Structure 1
């Protein structure tokens, strides 16, 4: 591929799927991405959502890496305030040891869930939500240091103690900062780390965040120049009409999320069409249309041209595609054929 392509996967759960079905479909999708030459496969962290099974990135990464041979596998991302830095370092050091040279650790600052679930994640482990966010830069440094083969020294009770994420590391994962505001752009530039803006989710502020990152970047021993790529939601089918139909279930999911409606498992294409045909409120209809314009939806040649245009516009040589195509009634619950087809048509 002249333009490197990667995959972002939230492990969506359709109304006809169990969690096990959704994971089986993700493993098939990952195998397809590996076979088609995609560069990396990242999974997200979201909690307590009826349509998302990606609650624990390290577990899913282990499954995906075991099911594939070549592709880099990582988190897009681990929401660090939800976890103790040592735990994250241990998890990803083990993954890197098992799959050397194939693991990415993408770190984010957002909660990845509603306030109640965030409280359960953080207070349940003895943490305090506000403190975890406030100390985010320090926690990032801790993760980086603990995964180094030499570990990091910890002064405690008058003595010096060494903390290592794993006893005998030969390599460390590639570590990225992720964000949907300028906060992580500034922090990544300051620390000399790779950075990705969540264009697929935010849709605005991408150019400003990337310019801030590039213009204020400070080289580090790990990275001598800014490194970033673009994320985008995509649905590709043999015809544009088919692609737009397949995009409807996820468009309604995002509409519910943005307007505070109850979240449900992802609907079938037919059920989504019934809702849209009945008529959406004018404000909701305009929001759906705005999202539709930001996504890449269409036939293969149009979609590929859109990706090339976006990459040129934002000055990147890699695009991470979130394949959000839905499914028709009666589809095999353990596969996501329309998502796989999106990847195949983009790569061909």
Structure 2
């Protein structure tokens, strides 16, 4: 199947981290039954509603609980760790479950530090209320909505973000250039580095680069001949730019003879569209909590979401994310994802789903898998 899963191990209102992690393990098992190709987990910090803060640890648990599905990271934030530590962690999992591990790497750690360093402290902890989408109009490209870009620079001024950036590294630590770090990762895995990573050296780990724009991540992935994951579900405005930059920079390598792209998407599926939209109600409030600097909140119930009084600033803050979700019946969502695949030229799609009830989330993935297999 050309569908895979991205999971944040969401903590829901009324639940805890243990519940979230047990649900993630259960969903991975079910995704394997449904035929999904790979199961990736994210790396998030300081989020009351996300339990996936240590992807290598969680991937080891998922590998132990499944048999055939590939497991990996979407993505390790390399700005917070050294290439050696990352290779050792993933090499350890590969030593026990060889040939099933994807090492997805993101530059988000570096980007967060850069934004925080350049931002002037706001002097208070008030939510950022006007980090709305930019002035560019939304456009539709061959059936795919491309919304205006979100202005992350305003969110970077939030004092929480500035403070958090200092907690993810040792005092005085300097993050090397991303390209150099990727070269070190590859060298450790191949055994061509002057030092040896044990476990890790010679591991059958597939390295991926994840990116949200046509910047350094896409360039590095293309120039090193690595597979690339483009981010439509968080940064839909720049997905086409990211894919194009990767393909233009691509050079064949031992890993790939030609470009390989996976594109992410937010999805909620139910038997009927009305039911899917009811299940998806908490999403806007959840995104708002992220974009106001509070960190992802425990995922609300539809009833809790209904009680929120929305301002126009709130709506603009989350509009790009709301408008680019794929929510509906199995046929509707499958058709929408086929448009995403066609317009981006994706070889594979990476779908993420959050609902308050775990059974609804499992059912969403099941219905999508069934619809995707049908012409």
TM-score tier, shorter chain, comes to 0.7 to 0.9
Q: Shift of the alpha carbon at 1:28?
A: 0.9
Question: Given the alignment, which residue of 144, 150, 170 partners 2:186?
Answer: 144
Is the alpha carbon distance of 1:127 and 1:100 closer, same or farther for their aligned partners in structure 2, counting shifts above 3 Å? farther
| Distance change >3 Å, CA 290–CA 178, structure 1 → 2 | closer
Cα deviation for residue 190 of structure 1 reads 1.4
Distance in 2 of aligned mates of 1:321 and 1:262: 21
CA distance in 1: counterparts of 2:295 and 2:97, whole angstroms: 39
Match of 1:95 among 93, 110, 113: 93
Q: Distance in 2 between matches of 1:263 and 1:175?
A: 28
Cα distance, 1:229 vs. partner?
1.1
Change (3 A) 1:261 1:215: same
Q: What SS does structure 2 have at the residue aligned with 1:152? A: coil
Pick from 60, 64, 67: which aligns with 1:66?
64
Q: Which moved more, 1:255-264 or 1:92-101?
A: 255-264
**Counterpart position of 2:120:** none
Out of 330, 335, 340, the position equivalent to 1:305 is 335
Cα contact 1:82–1:118 (8 A) shared by 2: no
CA contact (8 A) 2:236 2:320 kept: no
Offset of 1:40 from its aligned partner? 0.3
- Which residue is 1:158 aligned to? none
- The reply to whether residue 253 of structure 1 matches residue 286 of structure 2 is yes
Q: What's the counterpart of residue 352 of structure 2?
A: 322
Name the residue aligned to 1:333: none
The residue number in structure 2 matching 1:36 is 34
Show the counterpart of 1:237: 270
Alignment deviations for residues 212-265 of structure 1 (CA, whole Å, 9 cap, x no partner): 111221112222111111100111111111111211212211122223457532
> Bigger CA drift: 207-216 or 51-60?
207-216
Normalised to the residue count of structure 2, the TM-score between the two structures is: 0.81
Instruction: State the 4+ residue runs in structure 1 displaced beyond 6 angstroms.
Output: none
The runs of 5 or more residues in structure 1 that have no matched partner are: 154-161, 328-335
Q: CA RMSD in A?
A: 1.8
Change (3 A) 1:250 1:103: same
**Gap runs ≥5 in structure 2:** 113-160, 371-375
Distance 1:91 1:127 in 2: 24
With normalisation by structure 1, the TM-score equals 0.87
Q: Is the 1:197–1:206 contact (alpha carbons within 8 Å) kept by the matching residues of 2?
A: yes
Say if 1:248 and 1:326, in contact at 8 Å, map to a contact too: no
Q: What are the equivalent positions in structure 2 for 1:78-89 lying under 5 Å apart?
A: 78-89=76-87
2:21 pairs with 1:23: yes
Q: Report matched runs for 1:1-348 at 5 Å.
A: 1=1, 4-111=2-109, 114-123=161-170, 128=173, 131-132=174-175, 134-148=176-190, 150-153=191-194, 162-166=195-199, 171-182=203-214, 183-260=216-293, 263-275=296-308, 279-327=309-357, 336-348=358-370
Q: What is the rounded CA distance, in whole Å, between the counterparts of 1:239 and 1:246 in structure 2? A: 11
